[in-house]
Structure formats: C-alpha cells, structure tokens
Amino acid sequence: MAAADTSTGIRTVRHWIDGKPSASESSRSGIIWNPATGEEQAHVDFASVEDVDRAVASAARAFPEWRATPLSRRAEILFKLRELVDAHRRDIAALITTEHGKTLPDAMGEVARGLENIEFACGIPNLVKGGFSEQASRGVDVYQIRQPLGVVAGITPFNFPAMVPMWMFATAIACGNAFILKPSEKDPSASLFLAELLKRAGVPDGVFNVIQGDRVAVNRLLEHPEVKAVSFVGSTGVARHIYENATRHGKRVQALGGAKNHMLVLPDADIATAGDAAVSAACGSAGERCMAISALIAVGNIGDPLVDAIAQRMARLKIGPGMEESAEMGPLITREHRDRVASYVENAAAEGATVILDGRQDPISRGNGFFLGPSLLDHVKPGMRCYDDEIFGPILSVIRADTYDEALRIINENPYGNGVAIFTRDGGAARQFQFDAEVGMIGINVPIPVPVSYYSFGGWKASLFGDLHIYGPEGVQFYTRAKVVTSRWPDPGTSKVDLGFPQSR
C-alpha cells in the first residue's frame, strides 16, 4: 500500500494522484504514532503547493469525461465499490485502529456507517432526477437539471479517518465531480487504502486524489481557482477559517465544526438505561467523537442515583490497545492531546467541581501509550473550563438543574449545536424538547443520533458554517448546481417579433 522509505526502513504514506501513489515534491513530513504503544510507526508526506496543483490538474483533466459518463455506469462503479469496501471492512478497520487507537469493533462500526453513504450514492440515477413542468406556458415546457460542480475538495479530521471521507466522496463522485481528499495527517493510511479500492472499482484515474499534509495543502485548496467547492469536518476554529477563506475565493463551502453535546435526563428516566447510555456515549472512542456526550444535565432528584450508576459503570470499563479483544476503550490520538484532556480534570477540581472519578489515577494512564482512564465530574457549571471547552476525551461533566426550563436554557445558550439527547419516558416532554432545542441533531433515548445516510448530518450554530448539511439529500444538493431550461418548439408560421416581457398565462 504505502511505499517504504528504504533509507530508514520506516513506511511512508504518500499522496495518491492520477490513480497511483505519488511521492511529495516537498521534503516536509509528519510522524504517524501508534497511540497504543506511544511509538512512531510511519511517516506521512506533507504536500507542497506544487503537489496540490498536480492533484488539482489531474482532477481537472479527469472531470469532463467523468461528468459525461452515463449515470448507469457511475452507479455500476459505486455498486462495485460497495462490494470492495464490504469485503475489506476488517482491513480498513485494522488500519484505523492502528493509527487512531479506537477499538477494532468501534472501527468496524465506523466503516459500516461510512459504507452506508456509498450505498446511498448507488442510487445516484434517482437522486439527481430533476423536475419537469409541461405546458408552463402555451407550447412551453420548463425543466430543471442538476449538474456537477467540477473539482471539489474534502478536508477531514483524525477521529473518523474512513467514515468522514466516505460521507463526502461517495456523493461527490456519484454526482459527477472529481474529488480531492486531504485527510488528517495523524491517521492517513485508510484514505490511501480507499483510493486503491476506488481504482479497483473502476473509478477513472484523476477522479479521486488524496493529498497528504497540513495547512499548506489546505490553504492552497482554499484559494485554487479550479476548486469549486470545499467540504470540511474538524474543529470550530479551523472550520471558521475554511469557511471565511474558501467563500472569499468564491467557493461553495460546508464546514462542520466542533461540539459540546448534552444529554438531558428528566426525573422519570430509567436510571440504568440512562447510565449505560451516558457511559457509552461519553467514553466510546475515548470521547473523541463529535457526537460524544460530554455534558449531562440531570433534572431534579435523579441526579444522585444517576451519578452513582454512571460512576459504577465507568469504573468497570476495560481500557487497553484497540486491537485487544477485551478492550472497550483505547488510547487518545497523541500524547499532547492526552495531556491536554487530563488537564481538565485538574482544573475542574480547582474551579469547584466534584471529581467523582479521576482517570489520571488509572495505572494505564502512566504507561507509554496515550491512554487516559475515564473521568466523571459532578456539580459542573457553565463558566468552568471543563464545561465551556470541547474536551474531546473521556470526561463526562454532570450539571444539576432544578427544572426542564433551566436545563433547556443551558443547552440553548451553549455556542455549539451539534447533537443533543433527551432521556425520559414521557413522550410529550420529548416532543416539546425536539421543538425547543437549538441543536441540529436530536436523540430521543438515543445518545448518539448520527442520522442514517438518507438524511443529512449537520449541527447548528458554531458546529456548522455554511448552508447545507453533509451527505444524504443535502449532500447531493451541495455537490450539484441546478440549471433550469425553458423550451419551446414553435411552429415557424406563428413566429413574430414581440418586445414584451415573456408571460406565462
């Protein structure tokens, strides 16, 4: 897969341009760590401006023929890709686990949710159907067609190195665009593996390219005149930068940012169910999910028994290398990130929160891998750093509220609006919450409400910059532009000069 650098014997992950691996023209590179051992396991090329330009040129060359390729042929290739990804689920998952650290079953889940997007895109002939109005005026028909944009780019985060690229490229390519992926430099191998599968499925060279690297590559994509649209998923600060710069250069942009997802637990909720859900959603993938629950608001007297239930469950979690079958939670992505996450526990105590469980005390947190045990903080309040910041680690903050209204105000005053979950047995209360919450994705007794692929994914407020959500029907809208045709086949005998504005009645 990735070519080996013979001088050091260490694997180097290259770009993928024009249907093959391509070494960088820059001498810059990054380290890919094994988070479970703390060791360096590979290097990744960092693209120069010239590398990006080569990829864009390849995509621009491939676009005209790809856009002219019949829908049925594009669908056939996507079906083939679906089969290949399905057959290689475990290989992709193993690459994810080795570089990201999440457990193998969790990585398998990531691949499955990404695959859904390829399955959705297999229906492309139906998805780009336009509308047709016969006899909009006498002898005049009007119809709308949707056409691809051209070369489009996707910039993706470390936490879903296969699923988030699939969110983007499946629809983009199905719609007839040529795609350039800039994956996270922290775990880039899955993207190259996917590139090989795309080629084997029959995607023509140049239609899918991968550019490895950092902000140098990203910033070139944002300003390159040939790049017509940019999809981004990552942290809010970078999402804002992407949105502002790419729109300044006239591009269509969807930039999904960070999150602070709440779980609201009403007094009538089942404590065991809510406890299981809170721990699963806070500690799955070591909290490194944009839809992870990081703040739980307990309303009324459910607080004490719920905190007990969560603490018992968290203390029992098995932490270890993601490839080990017994592990329920793996390490964090880098040592720096692990230390930053741990600092929130320290601060929370200083700011007046109660530390019920301190993950730093777990012996595994002191080994060479980037592990950190789960932490549970109680009596957290807005204004404390552990509440205000997106932590992106296995820390759950519990906030106490007396009423539903107080809890709702906290949720709606939060600058983020990605996901939120309510736990209750009261259907009316859940329905009211769905009406009231200023958040893009709502779970009712579902802690991680990532929409299925035939809906679209996206938060509100600081969790998304742009107008369209990602994948699903809004993804098709994002990667195409509408053209409306007004047509008449006049009888030459009735033709005359008419300077009036066209009328339809």
The one-letter amino acid code at 330 reads: G
Residue pair 441/291 in contact (Cβ under 8 Å)? The answer is yes
How far is Cα 187 from Cα 285, in angstroms, rounded to an integer?
15
Q: Which of 32, 93, 290, 298 binds ligand NAD (CB under 6 A)?
A: 290
Q: Which of 148, 234, 369, 443 binds ligand NAD (CB under 6 A)?
A: 234
Q: Which of 12, 159, 189, 191 binds ligand NAD (CB under 6 A)?
A: 159
Q: Which of 115, 170, 201, 233 binds ligand NAD (CB under 6 A)?
A: 233
Residue 477 Cβ, how far from ligand NAD at the closest point, in Å? 18
Residue pair 108/322 in contact (Cβ under 8 Å)? The answer is no
Q: Give the nearer residue to ligand NAD in terms of CB position, either 290 or 376.
A: 290
Q: Which of 184, 191, 231, 375 binds ligand NAD (CB under 6 A)?
A: 184
CA-angle at 125, arms to 120 and 130, nearest 5° = 110
- Site for ligand NAD, residues 247 to 276, rule: CB under 6 A: 256-259
Cα dihedral angle (207, 212, 213, 215), rounded to 10 degrees?
A: 20
Q: Which of 34, 98, 156, 209 binds ligand NAD (CB under 6 A)?
A: 156
How far is Cα 76 from Cα 87, in angstroms, rounded to an integer?
17
Listed ranges 106-114, 177-185, 324-332, 394-402: which one lies at the site for ligand NAD (CB under 6 A): 177-185
Q: Does 171 bind ligand NAD (CB under 6 A)?
A: no
Listed ranges 154-162, 171-179, 266-274, 356-364: which one lies at the site for ligand NAD (CB under 6 A): 154-162
Residue 178 Cβ, how far from ligand NAD at the closest point, in Å? 19
Q: Does 158 bind ligand NAD (CB under 6 A)?
A: yes
Residue 476 Cβ, how far from ligand NAD at the closest point, in Å? 18
Distance of CA 263 to the CA centre of its chain: 20
Q: Give the nearer residue to ligand NAD in terms of CB position, either 77 or 152.
A: 152
How far is Cα 150 from Cα 480, in angstroms, rounded to an integer?
9
Residue 378 Cβ, how far from ligand NAD at the closest point, in Å? 24
Q: Which of 114, 157, 176, 321 binds ligand NAD (CB under 6 A)?
A: 157
Cα-Cα end-to-end distance for the chain: 63
Q: Which of 362, 390, 408, 417 binds ligand NAD (CB under 6 A)?
A: 390
Residue pair 191/165 in contact (Cβ under 8 Å)? The answer is yes
SS3 label, residue 202? coil
How far is Cα 221 from Cα 228, in angstroms, rounded to an integer?
10
Q: For residue 101, give both structure tokens.
A: 């650290």
Measured in degrees and rounded to the nearest 5, phi and psi for residue 36 equal -75, -25
| 441 beta partners | 419
Q: For residue 327, give both structure tokens.
A: 């592990």
Q: Does 94 bind ligand NAD (CB under 6 A)?
A: no
Q: Which of 238, 253, 299, 342 binds ligand NAD (CB under 6 A)?
A: 238
Q: Which of 171, 294, 375, 418 binds ligand NAD (CB under 6 A)?
A: 418
Residue pair 429/442 in contact (Cβ under 8 Å)? The answer is no
Residue 224 region by backbone torsions, left for phi larger than 0, else alpha for psi between -120 and 50, else beta: beta
Q: Give the nearer residue to ligand NAD in terms of CB position, either 232 or 479.
A: 232
Q: Give the nearer residue to ligand NAD in terms of CB position, either 74 or 241.
A: 241
Q: Does 189 bind ligand NAD (CB under 6 A)?
A: no
In 29-150, the DSSP E strands lie at 29-34, 39-45, 132-137, 140-148
How far is Cα 75 from Cα 349, in angstroms, rounded to an integer?
55
Q: Does 185 bind ligand NAD (CB under 6 A)?
A: yes
* Residues touching ligand NAD, count (CB under 6 A): 27
Q: For residue 498, give both structure tokens.
A: 């008419």
How far is Cα 431 from Cα 410, in angstroms, rounded to an integer?
18
- Asked if 386 is an active-site residue, the reply is no
List 122, 175, 283, 290, catalytic entry:
290
Give me the 453-482 binding string for ligand NAD, x by CB under 6 A, dash otherwise.
------x---x-------------------
Q: For residue 421, give both structure tokens.
A: 């979950």
Q: Does 211 bind ligand NAD (CB under 6 A)?
A: no
- SS3 annotation, 254-294: EEECCCCEEEEECCCCCHHHHHHHHHHHHHHHHHCCCCCEE
Q: Give the nearer residue to ligand NAD in terms of CB position, either 148 or 165.
A: 165
| 396 beta partners | 376
Q: Does 303 bind ligand NAD (CB under 6 A)?
A: no
Residue 215 Cβ, how far from ligand NAD at the closest point, in Å? 4
Q: Which of 14, 43, 82, 241 binds ligand NAD (CB under 6 A)?
A: 241
Q: Give the nearer residue to ligand NAD in terms of CB position, either 303 or 459.
A: 459
Active-site annotation, residues: 290
What residues make contact with ligand NAD under the rule CB under 6 A? 155-160, 182, 184-185, 214-215, 218, 233-235, 238, 241, 256-259, 290, 390, 392, 418, 459, 463
